Amino acid sequence: MKVFVTVFMCILVVSELRAWDSPCQNPNKRNGYCVNINRCFGLMSVHTKSKRTTSEWRFIQESRCGDGNFVCCAGDTDFDSTYLLPQPYTCGGDTTHIKILGGNETAISEFAWMVLLEFRRFYGSELETPCGGSLLNHRYVVTAAHCLVGSYASPFGTFVSVRLGEHDTRTPEDCLRGICSRGVKSVAIEEFHVHENYVPDSEYWHDIALIRLQNEVEYSPTIRPICLPSTVVGRILHDGDTLTVAGWGRTDNEDGSRGSPTLQKVRVRFVENNICMKKYKSLYMHVNVSKICAGGQSGVDSCTGDSGGPLMSYSKGSWILQGIVSSEYENWIKEKMWT
Residues serving a catalytic function are 146, 207, 307
Which residue from 138, 69, 52, 196 is spatially nearest to 338, judged by alpha carbons?
Answer: 138
Q: What is the C-alpha to C-alpha distance for residues 41 and 47, in angstroms, rounded to an integer?
A: 10
Cβ neighbours of 257 (radius 10 Å): 7
Q: What is the C-alpha to C-alpha distance for residues 26 and 62, in angstroms, rounded to an integer?
A: 8
Give the DSSP letter of residue 327.
B
Query: Letter for the amino acid at 29?
Result: K
Q: Sign of dihedral through CA atoms 245, 306, 248, 137? A: positive
Which residue from 101, 40, 66, 115 is spatially nearest to 265, judged by alpha carbons?
Answer: 101
Please give the C-alpha separations between residue 22 and each of 25, 65, 214, 275, in angstroms, as whole numbers.
Answer: 10, 9, 30, 60
Q: What is the C-alpha to C-alpha distance for residues 99 and 254, in angstroms, rounded to an integer?
A: 9
Q: What is the C-alpha to C-alpha distance for residues 70 and 196, in angstroms, rounded to an integer?
A: 32
Which residue from 334, 310, 306 is spatially nearest to 321, judged by alpha carbons?
Answer: 310
**b vs e for 294-323, b when ≥16 Cβ sit within 10 Å of the residue's Cβ?**
bbeeeebbbbebbbbbbbbbbbeebbbbbb
Q: What is the C-alpha to C-alpha distance for residues 252 and 101, in angstroms, rounded to an integer?
A: 5
Q: 180 pairs with which residues across the strands?
A: 175
Q: Is the Cβ–Cβ distance between 271 and 94 less than 8 Å?
A: no
